Amino acid sequence: MHCWVCEEMNYSKLMVFLKQYHPEHIEEYKQILLFGNGDIFLYDNMDTNEYEKPVITNLPNEFITLTPGTTKDVLVIPFLKYLHQRGLLASTIYKYNIGCCLSGRYYGRVVIPSYDLRGNVNYFIGRAIHDNHEPTYLNAYSDKNKIIFNEKNLHANTNTIIITEGVFDMMAIDQVFGDRFGYTAMLGKFISDRLLDVVADQQPKIYLCIDNDAWIQSKKIAEKLQLYGAEVYIAHPPKNVKDFGQLTKEGIIIKNCIQHAQPYNDMKFLMEYKAQQ
């Protein structure tokens, strides 16, 4: 099952086509496309080593969880202090199982894991707690284009999804709205193929929460999400703020940014963009 014109073999695009032209048979098509345990999609003429398999990685061996009450090591205090200075609550540290490393490759970093639907680690972020510790971010070796960051919790609510650039932006917004939304981070300025699969399947309402240096990228992302069937709203932080991660202690401002986000419209977006310059 692929396009005979361009040879494209992409489940997301196929589902968009089927939903547009044959919505009455969509459940039947899903059963035809599903293979194995439901996470792997089988296409004609594909070798077994080309099946899309879940990405599983391991947390660093030196990983120590910072979940309250799980460790009494005084050496973790600077890491907890860093997270609290950034405005993260104990409940957020627990929800995302944030940890740290006192030695090894990720020494001096807080480590924020990502879990897939089965609870396996599929990625993690290693963020230095000191500004002079380079590079600032040292992440897992996994291909982030093949995973959804925070996939396990995202699927708790796929009707409305918050998509951010970074994990601290994601957690800042989560602390305001909690379980009302699903949350994921792009880990950059591009949507992963796996996330597009979810968008094509669920066709959710999406709040695209992008940094203020990425207006043009957010336009491209919004249009791509619309192509895959999403209802897209764009939310930027205030003009004098770089990203939502800087607003973790400003819940009211975050709430206003999300609640006043407008549905994406090309002409209106360009007018807002010019006003920001």
Condensed to tens digits (0 to 9), the pLDDT of residues 35-70 reads: 433 443 433 333 334 335 677 889 999 999 998 777
Between CA 269 and CA 262 the distance in angstroms is 9
- Summarised one tens digit per residue, pLDDT across range 199-256 is 888 889 999 998 888 778 888 899 999 988 899 999 989 988 999 999 999 999 999 9
Are 257 and 235 in contact by the 8 Å Cβ rule? The answer is yes
- Quote the mean pLDDT of the chain: 81
Is the sign of the CA dihedral 240, 246, 249, 255 positive or negative?
positive
Task: Give the pLDDT score at 189.
Answer: 85
Whether the ω angle into residue 238 lies within 30 degrees of 0, i.e. cis, is: no
Q: Which two tokens stand for residue 6?
A: 């361009």
Task: Give the angle subtended at the CA of 200 by the CAs of 245 and 123, to the nearest 5°.
Answer: 45
- Judge whether 57 and 124 are in contact, CB under 8 Å: yes
Q: Are strands 160-164 and 109-115 parallel, antiparallel or unpaired?
A: unpaired
Tell me the domains of the chain and their CATH numbers: 11-50 (no CATH), 55-142 (3.90.980.10), 148-277 (3.40.1360.10)
